[in-house]
Amino acid sequence: MKNWRSVAAAVFGALFSLALTAPLRASEGGAGPEAMSMGNMCMVMFGYDMIHITAYQPGKSRSEYCAEIPTSGPTILVFDIENPAFRDMPLELRIIRDPLTPITKDTDLEALTEVYRPATKYTKGTFNLEHDFKNNGHYIGLVTLTRPDGAQETSEFKFTVGETLWAWVPQIAGTVLITGIVFVYWKHTHPSGKKKDADAAAVS
């Protein structure tokens, strides 16, 4: 019984930590194989080179955001180009509403587009995109780099605006797991009346 209690306590502690930290990891997590994050700063990758992306809502807060922008409204996305060579290569930016289905070459991006900026060279190494998000939901940023030989590469970063159901999924899952382990522990430490009678009969 003592060993069972020790194991249950350890599992309970681990699940409780998971429930608390899962939402944090979700907010800092990557947005697919071509995007990563570090703290509140996202980044898209082109090979081993990266472009950092940070979101602000100066009219509401001084905080920096990444994969989860807390509310709709005016938002500033800041892009910092890590590789100096990229400053002489055109960058195209498109933000679309996430259709929540795989995007293919047949996807009508125009119908999904929230904001578009044509290919431009950003010789200073940084640029801003200001947009007033009218609706909460899931979005995808598509950054297209044109190489000197004309080849184009597109990387994406996903983010949400406003609270969505998916933002609460890790916390809900953690709560369900904790409830389950507590129930199993309670059942083990509070045997039914029939089991008590059987144990008593065995002892007598």
The domains located in the chain, with CATH, are 37-166 (2.60.40.1930)
The pLDDT assigned to 33 comes to: 38
Instruction: Kindly state the average pLDDT of the residues 142-164.
Output: 92
Q: Tens digits of per-residue pLDDT, 82-131?
A: 999 999 999 999 999 999 899 888 999 999 999 999 999 999 999 999 99
Instruction: Kindly state the average pLDDT of the residues 48-77.
Output: 93
At 23, the pLDDT band (50, 70, 90 cuts) reads: very low
Give the residue with greater pLDDT, 163 vs 27: 163
Q: For the whole model, what pTM was predicted?
A: 0.64
3-state secondary structure of 63: coil
Counting residues of the chain whose pLDDT is more than 70, the rounded percentage is 63
Instruction: Kindly state the average pLDDT of the residues 162-175.
Output: 60
The pLDDT assigned to 32 comes to: 38
Angle at 13 (CA atoms; ends 171, 37), nearest 5 degrees: 45
Q: Tell me how far CA of residue 139 lies from CA of 12, 68, 197, in angstroms.
A: 36, 10, 61
The pLDDT assigned to 28 comes to: 36
Residue 40: which residues within 8 A CB-CB, separation 6 or more?
A: 28, 54, 63, 64, 65, 66
The pLDDT assigned to 105 comes to: 87
Task: Indicate the burial class of 83 (C-beta count within 10 angstroms; 0-12, 13-18, 19 or more).
Answer: middle
